[in-house]
Amino acid sequence: MITTAPACSVEGGRPFAALPEESGRPLAALPEEGGRLFAALPARDAAAMARLRARLAEQAQHEGILDVAYRTLDTPVGSLLLAATAQGLVRVAFDVQGHDAALRQLAGQVSPRVLLAPRRLDEVSRQLEEYFAGRRTRFEVPLDWRLSKGFRLGVLRHLRDIGYGRTESYAEVAVAAGSPRAVRAVGTACATNPLPVVVPCHRVVRSDGSAGGYAGGADAKRALLALESPAWHRKPGRLGGDPVE
């Protein structure tokens, strides 16, 4: 029987999702039987540990206590952390943003019951692989928007309307979001987007057509723009007023 304690905790700035020998104590949501199995395992039996992680994730899902599942995915723009609740994809984080920091954010703002459970992320992983292979131009996965609110949420919802291979300036997005003077706020919304790539803040560029800043780094933004339009460019924005970055 799985307890109601967190399925994953964050301690000392480092998550420990299923490695009790690293944390110094049993995993919080580990069944008693699983605890005995872990104690009997050789410390370096990686394959057995992987099987037990999968078993733990399945049982947590069955018991309804897997609040946030996560995995990582290697991509042309680096390793992405993917996390999902039962409602949908809730977080995408670049390696340069700090995967551990993203997990701490999820533990603090969504639920401390966070577990390495790749199966829940199978579909979004497949769609991301298709996107980076040039076979997908739109993501069709449910999203959990709870980490964004107010004007920022309105901006992020609009970003999904900027089609593959197209761009808009920060000022154009501000107009579309209903606040033409809120150009800096648009920049902040893009910079704090919890779902980059899937919610395409990389398609928001400066009015002169240059890429501008990006949470995943300037190289990642240019790579995404080039993937979608190998000769990407846009004429200087008619509206001007980009945020200072």
Tell me the pLDDT tens digit for each residue of 22-50.
444 444 444 455 556 556 656 667 776 66
pLDDT at 219 > cutoff 80:
yes
Q: pLDDT band for position 9 (50/70/90)?
A: very low
Distance (Å, whole) CA 228 – CA 102 = 27
Summarize the confidence of residues 7-16 as an average pLDDT.
44
pLDDT digit string, tens, across residues 194-213: 999 999 999 999 988 888 89
Summarize the confidence of residues 209-221 as an average pLDDT.
92
- Structural domains in the chain, CATH included, are 48-147 (3.30.160.70), 148-232 (1.10.10.10)
Task: Answer for the pair 173, 204: CB distance below 8 angstroms, yes or no.
Answer: yes
201 catalytically annotated:
yes
Catalytic residue among 10, 201, 204, 227: 201
What pLDDT does residue 28 have? 45
Mean pLDDT estimate for the chain: 81
Summarize the confidence of residues 111-128 as an average pLDDT.
95
What pLDDT does residue 17 have? 45
Summarize the confidence of residues 136-163 as an average pLDDT.
96
Distance (Å, whole) CA 187 – CA 19 = 39
Q: pLDDT band for position 59 (50/70/90)?
A: low
Q: Which is more confidently placed, 18 or 86?
A: 86
